[in-house]
Amino acid sequence: YADHDGKIWMDGKLVDWRGANVHVLTHALHYASSVFEGERCYNGKIFLDREHAERLHFSANCLDFQIPYTVEELMAAKAEVLAANNLTDAYVRAFAWRGAGPDMGVASARNPVQVAIAAWHWGNYYGDAKTKGAKLDIAKWKRPSPETIPHQAKAAGLYMICTMSKHAAEAKGCSDALMFDYRGYVAECTGANLFFVKDGEVHTPLADCFLNGLTRQTVIKTLRAKGVTVHERHIMPEELESFQQCWLTGTAAEVTPVGQIGDYNFEVGALTLDIASDYEKLVRA
Q: What residues line the site for ligand PMP (CB under 6 A)? A: 38, 154, 188, 191-193, 211, 213-216, 249-251
The residue (of 175 and 251) whose beta carbon lies closer to ligand PMP is 251
208 HSE (CA, 13 A, CB side)? 10
C-alpha–C-alpha distance, residues 214 and 254, integer Å: 10
The residue (of 33 and 256) whose beta carbon lies closer to ligand PMP is 256
CB of 216 to ligand PMP, least distance (A): 6
The residue (of 133 and 191) whose beta carbon lies closer to ligand PMP is 191
Neighbours of 142 (CB within 10 A): 17
The residue (of 7 and 91) whose beta carbon lies closer to ligand PMP is 91
C-alpha–C-alpha distance, residues 237 and 257, integer Å: 19
CB of 84 to ligand PMP, least distance (A): 24
CB of 104 to ligand PMP, least distance (A): 29
CB of 177 to ligand PMP, least distance (A): 11
Q: Could you give the C-alpha distances from 212 to 19, 116, 245, in angstroms and in order?
A: 34, 24, 21
Nearest to 217 by CA among 195, 187, 197, 235: 195
- Asked whether the beta carbons of 197 and 225 are under 8 A apart, the reply is no
Rounded to the nearest 10 degrees, the angle between the axes of helix 214-225 and helix 270-284 is 110
C-alpha–C-alpha distance, residues 18 and 27, integer Å: 21
Nearest to 161 by CA among 194, 190, 125: 190
The residue (of 38 and 259) whose beta carbon lies closer to ligand PMP is 38
H helices of the chain, in order, are 27-31, 49-62, 71-84, 129-132, 160-171, 214-225, 270-284
Cα angle value 276/281/283 (rounded, 5°): 95
CB of 106 to ligand PMP, least distance (A): 24
Active-site residue (options: 130, 135, 154, 166): 154
CB of 251 to ligand PMP, least distance (A): 3
Residue at shortest CB range from ligand PMP: 213
Neighbours of 222 (CB within 10 A): 18
Respond yes or no: is residue 226 known to be catalytic.
no
The residue (of 28 and 100) whose beta carbon lies closer to ligand PMP is 28
C-alpha–C-alpha distance, residues 139 and 122, integer Å: 25
Q: Give the residue numbers annotated as catalytic, written as ranges.
A: 154
